[in-house]
Structure 1
Amino acid sequence: MEDTRALGVRLAELLRPGDLVILSGPLGAGKTALAQGIGAGLRVDGEITSPTFVIARIHRGGRVPLVHADAYRLGAVADPRGEVDSLDLDASLDDSVTLVEWGEGMAEQLSDTYLEIRIDRRDDDSREISLIPHAGDWSTRLASLIK
């Protein structure tokens, strides 16, 4: 998990207001650990914990505010995309980094450009993390991680 958090810290260097990041992966894959690394890299206030029961938390302070949402419970409702709309995450999208766990298939509607991060946990407990850019300048920004 420390490697996952460390990747989050490195990713935070690339993030700026208006960015949407969608995290997907099974339970225990490391989505919250990655979010913790991003929060640490942005130097936001407060502990980053899974927002499953409150749906969304706003962490201020630091370089850029972080809106950390969890759409896990929304997957069981009849209209999960409508539920995402009702959270008004787009109201703070321009001023914050918005990170949505379990947002695949629901949160993409918030922005034409976003970064999708898929985390898979292998049998040996290692992680395979895929960074998938969707439009905008994500490909260029992600290339700087490899250097």
Structure 2
Amino acid sequence: MSRIDIELRNQARTAELAAALAPQLRAGDLIILTGGLGAGKTTFTQSLAVHLNVRGRVSSPTFIIAREHPPAGDGPGLVHVDAYRLEDAAELDDLDLDSEQHEVVTVVEWGAGVAESLADDHLEITLTRPDSADPESGQREAVLQGFGDSWAPRLARVKEAMK
């Protein structure tokens, strides 16, 4: 497992993290986003979608559970999933995400404990708001943990880009 910790002072810095991560992503990647309500999971995904150059407006998929965003160029598309209302991995499996997973980057909000079954090789991003932070400031802490051999060099490049 590879891990980096990044302080995000504001929403602009969160967008910078998405910009640093996007070039490291490839079709078939799975990102599991974790964090409490208002932690910035959807905001991060919106920025990531911009830098992946996908079509469609990214919004919280809470009520439709999964939304697909096709590529606008040569890169991979994005599948944005909200697993908050799913009870277990079987319900996630019912969405049949793995049928196209090799063609897209899949981001699963609230996916910890549920989405890991989609791929052994995946990235977990935990976003937290420090207790002392003003809720409106956008200040967050991000922990990126890569599972699988491919993540160590990719996370090293993200860390370098965030300096």
TM-score normalised by the chain length of structure 1: 0.93
The unaligned stretches of length 5 or more in structure 1 are none
- Is the CA contact (8 Å cut-off) linking 1:5 and 1:35 kept in structure 2? no
Separation (CA, whole Å) in 2 of partners of 1:11 and 1:121: 20
Match of 2:144, SS state, is: strand
Runs of 4+ aligned residues of structure 1 deviating over 6 Å after TM superposition are none
1:87 paired residue number: 95
Is 1:33 aligned with 2:43? yes
Separation (CA, whole Å) in 1 of partners of 2:24 and 2:66: 22
Q: Aligned AA for 2:85?
A: R
- Is the CA contact (8 Å cut-off) linking 1:9 and 1:39 kept in structure 2? no
Number of aligned residue pairs: give it.
Answer: 143
Is 1:135 aligned with 2:148? yes
Higher RCO (Cα < 8 Å, 6 or more apart): 2
1:117 paired residue number: 125
2:28 paired residue number: 18
- Is the CA contact (8 Å cut-off) linking 2:36 and 2:128 kept in structure 1? yes
Quote how far apart the aligned CAs of 1:53 are.
0.5
Q: Aligned AA for 2:144?
A: L
2:8 paired residue number: none
- Is the CA contact (8 Å cut-off) linking 1:5 and 1:34 kept in structure 2? yes
Separation (CA, whole Å) in 1 of partners of 2:105 and 2:126: 18
- Is the CA contact (8 Å cut-off) linking 1:56 and 1:68 kept in structure 2? yes
After alignment, is 120-129 or 42-51 more displaced? 120-129
- Is the CA contact (8 Å cut-off) linking 1:122 and 1:128 kept in structure 2? yes
Taking every aligned residue pair, what percent have the same amino acid on both sides? 48
Match of 2:28, SS state, is: coil
The unaligned stretches of length 5 or more in structure 2 are 1-10
Separation (CA, whole Å) in 2 of partners of 1:41 and 1:100: 17
1:103 paired residue number: 111
Deviations 1:86-126 (A, max 9, x none): 01111111010000000000000000100000000113142
Separation (CA, whole Å) in 1 of partners of 2:33 and 2:47: 13
Is 1:51 aligned with 2:61? yes
Match of 1:34, SS state, is: helix
Is 1:66 aligned with 2:78? yes
Q: Aligned AA for 1:132?
A: Q
After alignment, is 49-58 or 120-129 more displaced? 120-129
Quote how far apart the aligned CAs of 1:17 are.
0.3
Separation (CA, whole Å) in 2 of partners of 1:55 and 1:91: 16
TM-score normalised by the chain length of structure 2: 0.84
Calculate the aligned-residue CA RMSD, in Å. Answer: 1.0
